[in-house]
Chains A and B, each alone.
Chain A
Amino acid sequence: MDETYEGDISMKKVNVCILQSDGTNCDNELFYAFKKFGGNPQFVHVNQLRSKTKSLKDFHILALPGGFSYGDDVASGKIWAIELISFLRNEIEKFKQRGGIIVGICNGFQVLIRTGLLPFGEMGKMSATLAPNSSGHFECRWIKLKAEKNKCIFLKGKYDIGYFAVNHGEGKFFSTPQVIKKVEDEDLVVFRYVDENGNSTQQYPQNPNGSLNAIAGVTDPSGRILGLMPHPEKFIDSTQYPNWRREKISKPHGVFIFEDMINYVKENK
């Protein structure tokens, strides 16, 4: 039987739950990214958690991929967020208490924001949003991102600038000034969109969606949850980068996120 459907789960490995819903479409490349750096990823459809054929108990990492869950209907990630709140709330709380880590990319980030898990780790209470891009439409481009000092417990301090793909229509990180201040004060900002000089920017298209304070990715106060709009999983092989033929790439820029997550689990199991 194909391992992509029924995988082997042994707690000796770093088990990654790649959660799917109707419309998830960046799951294959996310699977590949975890696998390439020593993880043991499994595809799990949200219905399998609902029917209890699969359980978060068996996993160290919960990863929510990009895509258009339920068609982005009403608002991106909304329908999936409500689904998770409605039946998986306790299991997710337990998963966090057991030391599990959660990552949401693009649509996965939109879900984490709309569940309230990001930025303040309060499931069921939404504090920020990812609103429609200021350009008014979907954006598919490569942008520069800078990681900064932050609370995320599994990302090692690498504050380099990297190129990442963004592909979304609703990615504008937005909230009240009080919430934004709290996010900043508590070091919850992990990534910002930056210009050529590495300064955070509100300029389009370097900041592709008009995010306040150029915020591209955040963690929660526990540091166990990471969400970001850009796609690290789409730059883990050099040939995935548009200019691999003209620029020397010693290490694809998305790699460190997967390496750090897997190493963290290995060190803290």
Chain B
Amino acid sequence: MIHTIRVKTIIGRDLVGEGILHDIHHTLGQKGVTQVESAKVYRLEGISEKDAKVLAEKVFCESIYQKYTLNAPILGSQLVFEIAYKPGVMNPEVGSILKTAEDLGIKLIAADSSHEYGFYGPSTGSTTLSTSSLRVEIEEIAKKLHLLNEMVEHFVTEEPKTLLIKGTPGKTNVIRLRRMTDSDLLELSQDQLFLNLEEMKTIQNYFQKIKRDPTDLELETLAQTWSEHCAHKTFKAKIILDGKEKEPLFTRLKKEALKYNKNIVSAFIDNAGVMDFYEGWAINGKAETHNAPSAIEPYGGAMTGSGGVFRDVVATGQGAKALVSTDIFCLAPPDMDKSKLPPGTLPPDYMLKRVVYAVRDYGNRVGIPTNNGSFHFHEDFRAKPIVLVGAYGILPKAKAKKGKPRVGDVALVIGGRTGRDGIHGATFSSGEMTERTISVNAQAVQIGNAIEEKRIFDVILEARDKDLIRVVQDLGAGGFSSAIGETGAEIGVKVHLEKAPLKYQGLAPWEIFLSESQERMLIILTKKNLRKFLEICKKYNVEAKELAEYDGSKRLKVYFGREKVGDLEMKFLHSGLPQRVMKAFRLPSVAQGLRQNQQIKTPSTEKEWIKFLEETLSGGDSNSKEPILRMYDHTVQGTNVLPPFAGVGLDGPQDAAIIKPILEKPYGLVVSHGLNPKLTKEDPYWGTIWSATEAISNYVAVGGDFKNASLINNYIWPNPSEEWLGKLDASVTAVCDFMKTLKIPVISGKDSLSATYRGSSGVIIHSPPTVCISVFGKIPDVKKTVSSDFKKVGSTIVLVGKQDLKVYLKVLPKVLEKMHKAIISGKVLASHDVSEGGLITAIFDMCVGGNNGVNIKANAEELLLETAGCFIVEVENETIAKKLFNGVQFKILGKTIKEEKLVVDKLFSADIDRLQKAWTKPMKEIFP
């Protein structure tokens, strides 16, 4: 039997209830509801009533301010709604409940937890309406507010009889593939395999040749290995651009990158790129999108996005420690008219809140500081938003490369159990999103368990330091299929799927093999290290099971008990995929440089200027994100040397993150990024150059040395039609030109070429093509860095760099070098890069941090040009400025003043306080 305990706050505020009421009043504008109360629900199976009481009093209820009921309602309202995770969706809290019961000597069979909400108000008290019609009304409200996400949660309408999920193991089916017609093949591929006809036929031919039909597991394994997500078919395709054959995009990037290898430890081969650091250490970095799952369940999607990138960084070489993460979100504007939302998509304000809460709830728990990020708003992100997470780590250089599995080595799965969640993640994220996506691919979404992830990181670091690990591989997209298939590609491997610990029974072997359940890692080691390794797992409460043995067969052999459920030649699996030949055409470059976005009428009067500045500063991309950043932990690990905000009131935004990875050493890791979807949409080549220049300028502005930096590029592009592929080609050329200009390499990257939505009515929405360039690198002394807040009154303000409609690549290295030398000389008091919003918003940021003002001379064009690669610098006086920047273009703009005003000679004088109010207002309203 199940005992249900309900807990409610009785002294002090019911913050959850108040929050919902606020949203009902403000978001929905419905004043009918006057009060919302909330309670927490715990269900406990297999214990006596006495034990349930013990748990209620010792664990669930703090009588100082709460009360509880046992098997009875607790909320007074007639309209109580309970929202719980659907059976089968992992509730991270359950493990802790079982553990704490065991500590108290109480043996639970199963447990669950959920939330209850009670609603009050005039309409709910009305006698003319029946309770059932009121229930419908409130249910509508709950759905409109997305109090529950039907992907993963449901209303509990009756008490469950058991919390255990039962099932008998599913069977392995043989798919009669050899006899299928082309249309049969396509039908099989749609919604499930996401392969094209040529690829389906290649598989068909293979099985015709070996004279048998494939099992479902074999077919799924092939689809996963050959998915765009895992195989990067477009980046590896032969491209015919305007009739001329070109080398694959990936080959071009790699060839150019490897020319600049002085710091490269490993590039393009591991889960993250690795570069040299100091004293035998190396640093690594990776950025990855998690767009498709986030589009349908932003909270779970963004969480698992963070979790996946963290695991990529930790599963580099023989294990790394994750140091810092960045979060970049491209969404539709939160105030967009909801009628513009296509069917099957979620409202942008809800998306924004949920992705932010996901970063907060996952990153903070794993203990990786989130020190850098950005938001970019555009209506065309309304169907397919971008959720891009970057992570950076440190590892001993001697252990920065993976070993190769040897015959006799074993593979263990450690961490979370395998469930049905996340199945088809790899293939799904490679497909276009349609209205059907949200209903058909529900299992592609899951909720992360940050503590499980933290535990496995603890195990890996200790095992690495004890020399126990040969290979550590993330179980991410494609699950066991991908990780075991890849690590065994050269020598072959035998897998025993029945050994995998499962969340619940009832999974078919192919589901176990393909599952993308989070927080699992594959550890490959020699058998003699097994015992020691398992001891470490035990210490950290991490479950570990031997799953596979590398056997020299050069085949992927998969068993479920005695039954052989898959047997594929590694050669076919990994080299059988036909190289794509893709046509592309290039439109003439429209912009031939940066957009002159000041087509907006330049303000003429002071009043117009102030209004214009208020509008610019309150705009989505520019407004202050401080309320968000205050929910992200950026001080955990104690390594942060430049926080996202600094200055007198700790509210001046900074350009990049600086981390001191080894607390007792002065060495710094600098991390920044740049992207500009609006510009890349307009001109893929110059937009890409702008994004990369913005990234490196952010990096240099704080004191980063561009010569000791590495780049990461992430492509988020609409499905590669001939036109979009032509644009992608231009963007890749831009990245190669950028590497050539600065003589630094891209060492990691990822592409997600499915930013297209197709609705049933023929609506097609292409998200703006986006390339995000991330920069990370090393500096010998964190003390030789600078923040953006103005430090003094009466000091000189300088614009360094050439303002124009495009970035002059030729002068860029010189400007960056001058900037770097100036900063390490210690003579730069403050520095900030010029970005969206132009010079005037950069100066505004610096005034906010310094609690002072400026008096400058500049014309309207100079104030507003958004030329990346330019800097605003504060130095003591003009003489110093001339000495520091002699040899590059620079201009003395004016001086800092005590009065908190932006004074521009002959144009306007604006109160910073007033502008600051406009700048901080939008996000304060969304995140009160």
Q: Could you tell me which A residues sit within 8 Å of B by CB distance?
A: 1-2, 4-5, 20, 22-26, 28-29, 32, 36, 45, 47-48, 66-68, 70-75, 78-79, 82-83, 86-87, 126-129, 131-132, 134, 136-142, 165, 167, 174-176, 231, 233-234, 237, 239-240, 242-243, 245-246
Q: Are A79 and B646 in contact (CB under 8 A)?
A: no
A-contacting residues of B (Cβ < 8 Å)?
Answer: 12-13, 15-16, 18-19, 58-60, 62, 64-65, 92-93, 95-97, 99-100, 103-105, 360, 364-367, 449-451, 454-455, 458, 462, 465-466, 538-541, 629-643, 645-648, 650, 660, 663-664, 782-783, 785-787, 789, 791
User: Given A234-B638, A239-B641, A246-B791, are A82 and B541 also a contact pair (CB < 8 Å)?
Assistant: no
Bound CA–CA A67/B631 (angstroms):
15
26 contacts between A and B (CB under 8 A): A2-B466, A22-B451, A23-B450, A25-B454, A29-B639, A36-B664, A48-B539, A67-B367, A73-B92, A74-B60, A82-B104, A83-B103, A131-B12, A134-B13, A136-B15, A140-B629, A141-B650, A165-B635, A167-B633, A234-B635, A234-B638, A240-B635, A242-B646, A242-B650, A243-B647, A246-B647
Q: Which residue of B lies closest to A245 (CB)?
A: B787
Residues of B within 8 A of A165 (CB): 635
Task: Say yes or no: A176-B64 contact (C-beta < 8 A), given A83-B100, A239-B782.
Answer: yes
* Cα separation A73 to B361 with both chains bound (whole Å): 12
Residues of A contacting B62 in the complex (Cβ-Cβ under 8 angstroms) = 75, 126, 129
Q: Does B93 contact A73, Cβ atoms closer than 8 Å?
A: yes
Contact between A167 and B103, CB atoms less than 8 A apart:
no
Give the distance in Å from the alpha carbon of A44 to the alpha carbon of B587 in the complex.
63
A79–B96 CB distance below 8 A: yes
Bound CA span A20–B117, Å:
36
> In this complex, what residue of B is CB-closest to A246?
B791
Query: Do B100 and A78 touch across chains, with their CB atoms under 8 A apart?
Result: yes
User: Chain A nearest CB: distance from B657 CB in Å?
Assistant: 12
Q: Tell me if A25 and B636 are in contact (CB < 8 A).
A: yes
Q: Given A22-B455, A245-B787, decide whether A79 and B99 contact each other with a Cβ distance below 8 A.
A: yes
Q: A22, B15: Cβ atoms under 8 Å?
A: no
| Given A136-B19, A234-B635, A74 contacting B96 (CB threshold 8 A) | yes
Contacts of A240 in B (CB 8 A): 635, 638, 640-641
- Least Cβ distance of A243 to chain B in Å? 6
- Chain A residues contacting B100 (CB-CB under 8 Å) are 70, 74, 78-79, 82-83
A48-B539, A74-B96, A242-B646 known; A128 vs B64 contact (CB < 8 Å)? yes
Chain B residues whose C-beta falls within 8 Å of the C-beta of A242 in the assembled complex: 642-643, 645-646, 650
| Beyond A28-B638, A136-B18, A138-B364, 11 extra complex contacts between A and B, CB < 8 Å | A2-B465, A22-B454, A25-B366, A29-B637, A32-B663, A71-B93, A73-B92, A74-B97, A141-B630, A175-B64, A234-B635
Distance A82 CA – B458 CA, assembled complex (angstroms): 23
Q: Which of B650, B664, B787 contacts A32 (CB 8 A)?
A: B664
Question: Which of A22, A167, A246 is in CB contact (< 8 Å) with B540?
Answer: A22
CA distance A28 to B206 in the complex (A): 54
> Once the chains bind, are A26 and B636 in contact (CB under 8 Å)?
yes
Chain A residue nearest to B450 (CB atoms) is A71
Whether A126 contacts B64 in the complex (CB less than 8 A), given A29-B638, A140-B631, comes out as yes
**Residues of A close to B640: CB separation below 8 A:** 240
C-alpha gap A138/B627 in the complex (Å): 11
Chain A residues with CB under 8 Å of B466's CB are 1-2, 5
- Report the bound CA distance from A231 to B465 in whole Å: 29
Chain A neighbourhood of B650, CB < 8 A? 141-142, 242-243
Contact across chains for B365 and A132 when beta carbons are under 8 A apart: no
**Which of the residues B539, B635, B645 comes within 8 Å of A167, measured between beta carbons?**
B635
Chain A CB count within 10 A is highest, among B15, B632, B663, for: B663
Most chain A CB within 10 A, of B95, B635, B646, is at: B635
Using Cβ atoms and an 8 Å threshold, which residues of chain B touch A74? 59-60, 93, 96-97, 100
Among B103, B360, B660, B663, the residue within 8 A (CB) of A86 is: B103
- Closest chain B CB from A196 CB (angstroms): 11
Docked complex Cα distance between A46 and B619 (Å): 49
- How distant is the Cα of A137 from the Cα of B660 in the complex, in angstroms? 28
Please name all residues of chain A whose beta carbon is closer than 8 Å to the beta carbon of B59 when the two chains form the complex.
74, 78, 82
A83-B100, A137-B631 known; A47+B539 contact, CB < 8 A: yes
Contacts of A167 in B (CB 8 A): 364, 633, 635-636
Please give, as numbers and ranges, the residues of chain B lying within 8 Å of A176 by CB-CB distance. 64
When C-beta atoms are compared, the residue in chain A nearest to B105 turns out to be A86
- Nearest CB in chain B to that of A139: its residue: B630
Contacts of A5 in B (CB 8 A): 462, 465-466
Do B638 and A82 touch (CB < 8 A)? no
Taking a contact as CB atoms under 8 Å apart, the answer to whether A29 and B663 are in contact is yes
Bound Cα distance A140, B360 (Å):
10
A138, B629: Cα distance in complex, Å? 10
Given contacts A5-B462, A137-B631, A167-B633, contact A87 B103 (CB under 8 A): yes
A237 to B341 alpha-carbon distance, docked (Å): 50
Given the known interface contacts A1-B466, A139-B631, A165-B635, the answer about A71 and B539 at a Cβ–Cβ threshold of 8 Å is no
The 8 Å CB contact of B15, one of A87, A132, A233, is A132
Residues of A within 8 A of B647 (CB): 243, 246
Q: Nearest chain-A residue to B640 (Cβ)? A: A240
Q: Determine which of A24, A32, A132, A140 lies in contact with B638 in the assembled complex, contact meaning CB atoms within 8 Å.
A: A32
CA distance A89 to B323 in the complex (A): 35
Distance A48 CA – B782 CA, assembled complex (angstroms):
37
A202 CA to B791 CA, complexed, in Å: 31
Q: Chain A residues with Cβ under 8 A from B785's Cβ?
A: 245
The 3 closest A-B pairs by CB, nearest first: A25-B367, A29-B638, A73-B96
Give the residues in chain B near A70, CB-CB below 8 Å.
95-96, 99-100, 451
Q: Is the CB of A243 within 8 A of B365?
A: no
Q: Which residues of A contact B540 (CB under 8 A)?
A: 22, 45, 47
Contacts of A233 in B (CB 8 A): 638
Report whether B635 and A140 are in contact in the complex, using a CB–CB cutoff of 8 Å. Answer: yes
Cα A137 to Cα B361 with chains together (Å): 10
Find chain B residues with CB under 8 A from A138 CB: 360, 364, 631, 633
**Chain A proximity of B695: nearest CB distance (Å):** 23
Shortest B577–chain A CB gap in Å is 41
Contacts of A245 in B (CB 8 A): 646, 785-787, 791
Q: Which residue of A lies closest to B641 (CB)?
A: A239
Q: Which of A4, A26, A73 has the most CB of B within 10 A?
A: A73
B782 touches A174 (CB 8 A): no
**Complex: chain B residue closest to A2, CB-CB:** B465
Distance of A48 Cα from B636 Cα, bound (Å):
25
Whether A45 touches B451, Cβ cut-off 8 Å, given contacts A68-B365, A73-B93, is: no
In the assembled complex, which residues on chain B have CB atoms less than 8 Å from the CB atom of A174?
A: 12, 64-65
Q: CA of A32 to CA of B360 in the docked complex: distance in angstroms? A: 26
- Nearest CB on B from A131, distance (A): 6
How far, in angstroms, from A134 to B96 measured CA to CA in the complex? 25
State in angstroms the CA–CA spacing of A217 and B698 once bound together.
39
**Do the beta carbons of A22 and B541 come within 8 Å of each other?**
yes
Among A36, A83, A246, contact of B789 (Cβ-Cβ < 8 Å): A246
Find chain A residues with CB under 8 A from B646 CB. Answer: 242-243, 245
Selected contact of B451 from candidates A23, A75, A131, A136, CB within 8 Å: A23
- Chain B residues whose CB sits within 8 angstroms of the CB of A139 once the complex forms: 630-631
For A72, list chain B residues within 8 Å (CB). Answer: 365
CA distance A182 to B636 in the complex (A): 34
When distances are taken between beta carbons in the complex, the residues of chain A under 8 Å from B539 are 45, 47-48
Residues of chain B with a CB closer than 8 A to A68's CB: 364-365, 367, 450-451, 454
Instruction: Tell me, in angstroms, the Cα distance from A246 to B634 when the chains sit together.
Output: 20
B791: which A residues are within 8 A, CB to CB? 245-246
Contact of B454 with A23 in the complex, beta carbons under 8 Å: yes
Q: Which residues of B contact A29 (CB under 8 A)?
A: 637-639, 663
Q: How far is the CA of A71 from the CA of B98 in the complex (A)?
A: 14
A224 to B64, CA, bound (A): 25
